[in-house]
Amino acid sequence: MATRAHNFFAGPAILPVPVIEAARDAAYNFADLGMSIMEISHRSKEFDQVMVEAQQDALKIMGLSADEYAVLYLGGGASTQFAMLPLNFLHTKADYVNTGEWATKAIKEAKMLGETNVVATSEDANFNYIPKDITWTPGSDYAHITTNNTIYGTQWNTMPDTGDIPLVADMSSDMLSRPLDFSKFNLIYAGAQKNLGPSGVTLIIVKKAWVEEKAKKENLTMFKYATHIKKDSMFNTPPSFPVYVVGQTLKWIMNEGGLEVIEERNIRKAKLIYDIIDAYPEYYKGAVANKEDRSLMNITWNLPTEELEAKFVADAKAKGLYGLKGHRSVGGIRASTYNACPVESVEALAAFMEEFKKNNA
């Protein structure tokens, strides 16, 4: 196999090598059928096993019961969930915390469907912190947060207490990166292409009783969670190949030792970069105001000038370090160190940062 590049793209993003190898093989000859997994019926027993295992493994990793929670694999990305969530559950009012671009987009969709309260925001400081001491609106249908903010490099490192209000989270860019009490959430959704698999599928974990008791009964068929729960994500043809790859990623997480091992590794990787940012704060200017709000998945910083930032990205690419240019809306530098990013890649980036400063200070 050719040498793997050091991949820091924010999404679509790096996948574990064993997952890529399994996907390569399944793309040609799946389950010794003489056909690609992309060529077989989603109603076949072979693909049914893929779907069932991907559902069971997600719940196993998260410590959730199949009696209480449904696992859905749907198309449309997290952006579709911005609308699907309020279409199902926004009856009178909902609370949202705005911590960045994706939260802003979720709020925009919800506002078109009902009363939407932005109960906290970090927009005043270009989303460089996570709001604290939030006052939730009594009687809200749900409270929505975005657990990791891919563009700005902030992360909820302590989940909020919303009391009796059902908690919902967009976990697209830090899903299954650390142990959490996932039972605190009524619904979690995550576009796969950042930390779970390829683009084209979205993972949704939803409390069945919430759907049964609170979801709107009269709704567009394809936008009803109940539709997909009843048919086990098979109401229509699912994104079969992406589901397979996510399923392989879940098995990789379990084979690695579970979320405790994954988190320990993610902390170690992030520390390598944050230590350099902290050592040279006038040169590598961290974009996140408070250390407790720093993301383990997306590390963001600036250099003294845009010219130096452009040179940093170009020189890094020449050394096989890809995907370090910050999001177009904020500029700067961003290193996405998702679960599948090897420690060795982050060590290579840390060494490059030291060398770059020495040569360009």
Q: Which residues are catalytic?
A: 102, 170, 194
Residue 172 three-state SS: coil
- Strand locations in 34-177, DSSP E? 69-74, 93-98, 115-121, 143-146, 148-149, 154-155, 167-170
Q: Which sign does the torsion angle of CA 176, 178, 179, 185 carry?
A: negative
Closest CA to 189 of 294, 299, 74: 74
The DSSP annotation for 203-241 comes to: EEEEEHHHHHHHS-SSS-GGG-HHHHHHTTT-SS---HH
d(CA 70, CA 264): 28
Residue 180 three-state SS: coil
Q: What is the DSSP letter of 116?
A: E
Which residue type, as a one-letter code, is found at position 122? S
Q: Which sign does the torsion angle of CA 25, 30, 32, 34 carry?
A: negative
- Mark residue 301 as left, alpha or beta (left: phi above 0; alpha: psi -120 to 50; beta: remaining): beta
- Do 61 and 202 contact (CB within 8 A), yes or no? no
d(CA 357, CA 86): 48
- Mark residue 170 as left, alpha or beta (left: phi above 0; alpha: psi -120 to 50; beta: remaining): beta
